[in-house]
Amino acid sequence: MKRAFAMLLATSAMAATALTTPALAQKAANTVRFAYDQAPESVDPFFNNVRIGVIIGANVWDTLVYRDPDTNEYKGQLAKSWKQIDDKTIEFELRQGVKFHNGEEFDADDVVYTLNYVAKPENKVVTQGNVNWIDKAEKTGKYTVRVVTKDIFPAAIEYLAGPVVIHPNEYYEKVGPKGQNEKPVGSGPYKVSNYVPGKSITLELNKDYFKDSPKPQPKIGKIEIRFIPDRQTQMAEALSGGTDLIMSVPKDQADQLKTVPTLQVVSGETMRIVFMQMNILENTPAPALKDERVRKAIIHAIDREAMVKNIVGDGSRVINTICFHSQFGCTDEGAARYAYDPAKAKALLAEAGVKDLTLDIVAYRERNQTEALIGYLQAVGIKTNLRFLQYAAMREVITSNKAMLTHQTWGSFSVNDVSANTPNYFAFRAEDITRDPQVRDLLEKGNNSVQPEARKAAYKDALKIIADKAYAVPLYSLPAYYVASKDLDFKAYPDEMVRFWAMSWK
């Protein structure tokens, strides 16, 4: 693969002057062509768990509150202002004059219908942690709403500024999630003009986007997004001028692409963490993982520092607990640390009486990193069968209790709070394949405590148990490498949000 890419790079470099034509054509047409390696489960943001769905959601829909990515300041988006009425109630004054893409006027009915719909467990929102804190929304006037939380939930505004978008109530009540996926309707700076599930989606500038939005008025007229699973094909498209922007490019390829005169490479650390889960449920398909010594052997077998240096790249850091360092409540203080020690890994496996262990490992992105992990495990005597899947298929394997080992990533929907991270895998939700009641209770206490210090203490205790009992393998934070046309003016953010509305052609 590396040799093929090198040959492609050399061929393309020789024709560099010819490659400017496609990019110039897109600049003249005011169009950005973006390629991504996963397709969304659904374009409806509440029924998607993949980063590209989050990106589409932020460009097509608006939220009540907006968090400025440069200052982290909360600003009114669909809401003009808000105030805390009591420990569980927030009142919002809504903007007037905002319209959805289908012409439907925005008002309190849209907020009430959306929040009450997604809060009901029977409606099966994919990521329950984004909405399960909502008790109800109440209309108090045409442009005033009260949002009531089930328990004290200090992170409510952070969620309302992130994954909790607002749908048009009349349309959504009529078509539901299925219809919203097939013909999406939001109020954001871009509207969907064409969608071919699994293949592509086209966004066009919303000329009626409200002027008071904290999102800048978009300058790019059209965004063409293609879902291209094969990384080599993406590279070829970038080199031939067939696409203007790709992201999550492997370090080695990004380094080589820096030499191409028609392209620019931008990188930086993101909120996305990389980790492995180990299935220790009662009916796990891998009973050996129920032995703590085997789990610790797996962690000791992996040279995380070497992976960061040689494979993952600048901007990455080794993590010791399952959270991102900037998130409120994230800490590794007092948590067990596992140095790279293959001899100790072999000794632990022998002590556990484990021989000829073979495990399936499911993964969905960063295949080169998965293959490196497999090599480390093989070196201590653990064989693996790789199942490389699309995210939705991988998630199904995990939630149906068919997973043994997983290699996956989590970006917390860009929510800068531990409640958006660790509980998703350790608070008895669908993807929890550990299910320790003590950990669950501590995470719930952290989510719902009114005192910040009490929240931090609860999260710290939960993270320590997870590490001490080796319930998972914390690996590292993941940097993002973007490769773009040299004439495209864009910025990479730690939250991995591709803000098309803030882009322009130079």
Q: Classify 278 as helix, strand or coil.
A: strand
**What pLDDT does residue 381 have?**
98
144-149 and 89-94 strand pairing: antiparallel
Cα dist from 195 to 12, 136, 177, 455, 482, whole Å: 31, 32, 15, 42, 24
Segment 466-478, tens digit of pLDDT: 999 999 999 999 9
Q: Which two tokens stand for residue 503?
A: 């882009």
**What pLDDT does residue 15 have?**
43
CA 142 to chain centre: 34
What are phi and psi for residue 360, nearest 5 degrees? -80, 145
Q: Which two tokens stand for residue 309?
A: 């240096």
CA atoms within 13 A on the CB side of 127: 30
Cα dist from 99 to 110, 163, 385, whole Å: 11, 20, 51
**What pLDDT does residue 3 have?**
53
Q: Which of 273, 265, 226, 270 is nearest to 249 (CA)?
A: 265
Count Cβ atoms below 10 Å from residue 15 Cβ, excluding itself: 12
**Is residue 475 within 8 Å of 319, Cβ to Cβ?**
yes
Cα dist from 327 to 66, 155, 162, 420, 475, whole Å: 18, 11, 14, 9, 17
**What pLDDT does residue 6 have?**
52
Give the C-alpha separation, 189 to 460, whole Å.
40
**What count of residues does the chain have?**
506
Residues 6+ apart with CB under 8 A from 267: 254, 313, 314, 315, 479, 480, 481, 482, 492
Q: Which two tokens stand for residue 378?
A: 């093989």
Q: Classify 76 as helix, strand or coil.
A: strand
Give the C-alpha separation, 196 to 437, whole Å.
43
**What pLDDT does residue 17 have?**
43
Give the C-alpha separation, 116 to 420, whole Å.
20
Segment 199-250, tens digit of pLDDT: 999 999 999 999 999 999 999 999 999 999 998 999 999 999 999 999 999 9
**What pLDDT does residue 23 have?**
62
Segment 304-347, tens digit of pLDDT: 999 999 999 988 999 999 999 999 999 999 999 999 999 999 99
**What pLDDT does residue 26 have?**
79
**What pLDDT does residue 2 have?**
53
Residues of the chain scoring pLDDT < 50: 1, 7, 10-19
